[in-house]
Each structure stands twice: as structure tokens, then as C-alpha cells.
Amino acid sequence: QATYPDIEIMAAEHLSSHPGIVEAVLYRYEQTLDGTAAMTCDLCKYRHQFTGFEDEYGMPQTSDHHHGMRGVPHSHGHSHSHTHGPSATSMNDLLPPRYQNGDPPSAAPMGSAPFKYKEDGTPAWDEMWTDFCDLALAGGAPHRGTLLEPVMPDAIQANPAGYKTVLAELERGLRMVTDLPIVHSTAPGWIGLACHNEEMALWMLRAIVVENVCVRREGHVLYLPAGPDYKLEDEIKNVITVAAKTHHYWTEHRNG
């Protein structure tokens, strides 16, 4: 308070005990139990054993997973069959091109995906994944290790130019992969993404939390972390990827 006398500083409880975090964890746990999860690979019947889906554990993914989860059909504009036991050829056709060589998919994290650039040298964020269903097939959370969080204000003050550069690239990438408006945060260490409504914001918040990226919400606006030392092919890519992944599942898969 002595350092910032004009700013009212209010203490908050530790994030781990916040009721919103508890609610998100319980929500995902209940989805796992009743078989309605439709998001991350950690809840994929082909990669993890679930009651009622034992026979499908370890098998190549079939159309019910590629275009909808737990047997809930989702044509996604295609006419794939949803019957069990498709031929090897038809199963292979359902896979994204880079998985059609017969090798089992790698559990590599999202950050290991090939990095693409446009002709002008800027990152081609909208071309990193040719089909966002690749995200369900290729691995787990975009950010591995410790939770990706915003940095302390002191770090931003020490490198304002670097922070400005990171924010600019995050804004550019988030616009490209979501088409959502960007909100400039008054609090340092965050960049805002304006959802269409609070329902969308709440759903995406829960999904982002389980992707190992910190997020906070104010109404229909989600705030994602940012820092001056974020690297283009590391933290910046992870933040943009988690936004792209969760936004895709909200718009394409949430309603089956």
C-alpha cells in the first residue's frame, strides 16, 4: 500500500480454495462419472479407461469421437458412419492427414505442434491446426508443468517494452483463432477476451482451468495471463492454443 498509495489494495483468499475452482473440478469429475465429457484428452475413452467403454480403450479413434464424444453423433458437415467396427481403411480416413501413416498418435503436448509462419514472417496462428479435432487426438493440455499464471507487476514495470510486444502478439493471435473482441485489462498481467455472453464465459473458464492455464472472469469477459518474458513458441503459443481449443469446442461440439 505504501508503494501504491492511490490504489486500494484488497486481500483475497488463495485461488485453490476459491468456490469457482471447486465448482469447476466437481463439474469435470461428474462429467467423467456420467460419461458426458466432451473436451480434453484426459477424458478420452480411447486414451483412458472408463466404465462402459472398456472395449474401446487403446483403439484408434472412430467417427463418434472425431465428431462428437461418448457416441453422441456430430456430423460436422461430414457423412461418416457411427457404427462399431469400421474397416481399417475407413478408420484411417477419419484421422487428420498427419495421423494417416499407421503410427499411433503421440501424446505430445500442444506446444510441440509444428509452428507455422506467414509469408511476412508473422506467426500463422490460424494455420497451426488444420482441423481443431487434431487437438483431441494429439495430446493433453497445451501448457505442461506448473500452472501458467500472470507475472508480478514488478516484472512488467522492469520490461514495459517486452510486455507491450507480448500483449500485441497475444491480441493478434486471439483475434485470429476466435474472432472475439479483445479487452485491454486495467490490471497488469492479463489480456481480456469478450465472450458472447456469461454462459459462454463460464463454460470456457471451466475448460481453460483444466488446460493448466490460469484464467479469471468479469461478467462475459475472460482474462488470460500475460508477461513480458513470455516466449513466442512457448507461453504465447500456449495461451493462444488454449483459447483456440476451448473456443472451438464451445462453438462446434458443446451441443453434440
Nine-digit cell at 61? 479413434
pLDDT tens for each residue of 9-28: 877 666 666 677 777 778 77
- Give CA–CA dist 237/110, Å, rounded: 9
pLDDT surpasses 60 at 73: no
Q: What is the pLDDT of residue 113?
A: 59
pTM of the model: 0.57
Q: What is the pLDDT of residue 30?
A: 75
Q: What is the percent of the chain with per-residue pLDDT over 90, rounded to a whole number?
A: 31
Q: How many CB atoms lie within 10 A of CB 117?
A: 10
Pairwise pLDDT comparison (15 vs 120), residue with the higher score: 120
Q: How many CB atoms lie within 10 A of CB 98?
A: 15
Q: How many CB atoms lie within 10 A of CB 211?
A: 22
pLDDT surpasses 90 at 165: yes
Q: What is the pLDDT of residue 216?
A: 93
For residue 212, name the pLDDT band (cuts at 50, 70, 90).
Answer: confident
pLDDT surpasses 80 at 168: yes
**Nearby residues of 239 by Cβ (< 8 Å), 6 or more positions away:** 148, 170, 173, 174, 213, 224, 225, 226, 230
- Give CA–CA dist 71/250, Å, rounded: 18
Amino acid identity, position 38: A
CA-based nearest residue to 217, from 183, 252, 169: 183
- Give CA–CA dist 154/149, Å, rounded: 15
Contact call for residues 224 and 243 (beta carbons, < 8 A): yes
Helices (H) and strands (E) in the chain, counts: 8, 4
Pairwise pLDDT comparison (118 vs 34), residue with the higher score: 118
3-state secondary structure of 41: helix
Strand arrangement, sheet containing 216-218: 182-184, 190-194, 221-225, 216-218
